[in-house]
């Protein structure tokens, strides 16, 4: 048996772990999500509360698998992609486990072993899948009695976008109201019905190296210094309302148009940050040109870009081959993957991996 968040929100996880937990250990898998209306900017850095709501699709590629096992040693041991994590990477995981321990009323430390099937830190949402998998595995290993919404709020404390990867398909992350504990209670993701849209997302990787400026630093700098930030945030709230309606009426061109303008606007805000942040490279721009050319040819294809130079193109499944070919031929692309709607974060048995 595996747990898929979002299937039945009210079910406490504890009822569903069953035989997935071996002693005080658990293994979870989560997938990255790509925002069609972006999260860019925090109103509260302690609780990871966003300035605006956002909306994403969880992918069926690039899973993160994370095992958490409690141990009697002092301190947490963290292994990421087969290497011991040190410095900030270790501190982020240890701080997250501190939260879980405080909630569970336990003080044992843990060994965390996590690996990403996709590139790490390259704007392909590895922190979203990473902290969603860690939240599910750590909650299970420490015996937290949490439902999917609480799990989404917990994942948010590791990395904001991780709260959306608890769920499969499309998810909306509510900004919530207030700061501190009030904001914490009201800011979570939940699934929205959009499976009928069933789009393809073509992920064109132009550079799989880690980004030079972290998204955390970039969004902080943008909020603090960019004169474009407030106008984008105001527009993004409207984009979110329109996006929900477009998904509900299965209007892929509208979904794509809103996603593309929202992403371009986000990048515009950071170009005007001081100092400026620019994630898009000439290769990214060449791919954006290909997307325009596809549209001129009558193909409904729309681009979105995150905190990195890689370009993701939304289109109908029926067009995915044509779009993939155009992107491969039209740019200097290191790798190209076709993604569809993927599943929510799931506990797995050791022998199922």
Q: How far is the CB of 157 from ligand 2P0 (least distance, A)?
A: 9
> Three-state secondary structure along the chain?
CCCECCCCCCCCHHHHHHHHCCCCEEEEEECCEEEEECCCCEEECCCCEECCCEEEEEECCCCEEEEEEEECCCCCEEEECCEECCHHHHHHHHHHHHHHHHHHCCCCEEEEEEEECCCCCCCCCHHHHHHHHHHHHHHHHCCCCCCHHHHHHHHHHHCCCHHHHCCCCEEEECCCCCCHHHHHHHCCEEEECCCCCCCEEEEEECCCCCCCCCHHHHHHHHHHHCCCHHHHHHHHHHHHHHHHHHHHCCCHHHHHHHHHHHHHHHHHHHHCCCCCCCCCCHHHHHHHHHHHHHHHCCCCCEEEECCCCCEEEEECHHHHHHHHHHHHHHCCCCEEEEECECCCCEEECHHHC
User: In the structure encoding, which two tokens stand for residue 39, read together?
Assistant: 């999260």
Tell which one of 3, 17, 47, 48 touches ligand 2P0 (CB under 6 A). 48
Residue closer to ligand 2P0 by CB (options 55, 70) is 55
Tell which one of 3, 40, 96, 302 touches ligand 2P0 (CB under 6 A). 40
38 binds ligand 2P0 (CB under 6 A): yes
Site map for ligand 2P0, 167-196, x if CB under 6 A?
------------------------------
Using CB positions, name the residue nearest to ligand 2P0: 160
Site map for ligand 2P0, 279-318, x if CB under 6 A?
---------------------------xx-----------
Q: How far is the CB of 93 from ligand 2P0 (least distance, A)?
A: 12
Which residues on adjacent β-strands are paired with residue 58?
33
How far apart are the C-alpha atoms of 328 and 270, rounded to whole Å?
A: 28
Q: Which stretch binds ligand 2P0 (CB under 6 A): 16-24, 32-40, 94-102, 195-203?
A: 32-40
| Planar angle of CA 63, 172, 295, nearest 5 degrees | 80
Q: Which stretch binds ligand 2P0 (CB under 6 A): 34-42, 114-122, 201-209, 281-289?
A: 34-42
166 binds ligand 2P0 (CB under 6 A): no
Residue closer to ligand 2P0 by CB (options 14, 99) is 99
**First-last CA distance in the chain:** 13
Q: How many CB atoms are closer than 10 A to CB 57?
A: 29
How far apart are the C-alpha atoms of 322 and 298, rounded to whole Å?
A: 12
127 binds ligand 2P0 (CB under 6 A): yes
Residue closer to ligand 2P0 by CB (options 216, 328) is 216
Q: Which stretch binds ligand 2P0 (CB under 6 A): 33-41, 64-72, 75-83, 270-278?
A: 33-41
Q: Which stretch binds ligand 2P0 (CB under 6 A): 37-45, 62-70, 141-149, 281-289?
A: 37-45
Q: How far is the CB of 261 from ligand 2P0 (least distance, A)?
A: 14
Residue closer to ligand 2P0 by CB (options 15, 88) is 88
Tell which one of 20, 52, 54, 120 touches ligand 2P0 (CB under 6 A). 54
Residue closer to ligand 2P0 by CB (options 189, 200) is 189
Which residues on adjacent β-strands are paired with residue 50?
42
Q: How far is the CB of 54 from ligand 2P0 (least distance, A)?
A: 5
161 binds ligand 2P0 (CB under 6 A): yes
Q: Which stretch binds ligand 2P0 (CB under 6 A): 38-46, 67-75, 197-205, 345-353?
A: 38-46
Q: How many residues touch ligand 2P0 (CB under 6 A)?
A: 14
Q: How many CB atoms are closer than 10 A to CB 12?
A: 13
Q: Which residues are at the interface with ligand 2P0 (CB under 6 A)?
A: 35, 38-40, 48, 54, 127, 159-161, 215-216, 306-307
């Amino acid at each position: 048996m595996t747990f898929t968040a979002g299937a039945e929100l009210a079910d406490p996880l504890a009822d569903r772990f069953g035989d997935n937990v071996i002693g005080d250990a658990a293994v979870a898998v989560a997938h990255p999500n790509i925002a069609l209306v972006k999260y860019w900017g925090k109103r509260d850095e302690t609780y990871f509360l966003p300035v605006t709501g956002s909306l994403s699709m969880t992918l069926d590629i690039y899973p993160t698998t994370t095992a958490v096992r409690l141990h009697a040693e002092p301190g947490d041991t963290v292994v990421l992609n087969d290497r011991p994590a040190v410095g900030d990477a270790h501190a982020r995981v240890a701080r997250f486990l501190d939260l879980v321990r405080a909630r569970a009323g336990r003080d044992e430390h843990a060994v965390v072993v996590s690996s990403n099937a996709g590139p790490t830190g390259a704007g392909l949402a590895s922190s979203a899948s990473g902290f969603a998998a860690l939240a599910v595995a750590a909650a299970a290993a420490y015996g937290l009695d949490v439902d999917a919404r609480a799990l989404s709020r917990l994942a948010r404390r590791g990395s904001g976008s991780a709260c959306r990867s608890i769920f499969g398909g499309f998810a909306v992350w509510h900004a919530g109201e207030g700061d501190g504990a009030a904001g914490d209670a009201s800011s979570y993701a939940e699934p929205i019905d959009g499976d009928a849209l069933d789009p393809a997302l073509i992920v064109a990787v132009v550079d799989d190296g880690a980004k030079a400026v972290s998204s955390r630093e970039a969004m902080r700098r943008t909020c603090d210094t960019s004169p474009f930030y407030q106008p984008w945030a105001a527009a993004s709230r409207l984009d979110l309302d329109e996006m929900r309606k477009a998904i509900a009426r299965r209007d892929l061109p509208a979904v794509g148009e809103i996603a593309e303008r929202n992403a371009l606007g986000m990048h515009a805000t950071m170009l005007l940050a001081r100092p400026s942040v620019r994630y898009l490279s000439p290769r990214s721009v060449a791919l954006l040109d290909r997307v325009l050319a596809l549209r001129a040819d009558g193909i409904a294809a729309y681009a979105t870009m995150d905190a990195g130079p890689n370009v993701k193109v939304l289109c109908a499944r029926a067009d995915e081959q044509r779009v993939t070919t155009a992107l491969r031929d039209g740019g200097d692309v290191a790798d190209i993957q076709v993604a569809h709607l993927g599943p929510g974060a799931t506990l797995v048995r050791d022998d199922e991996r």
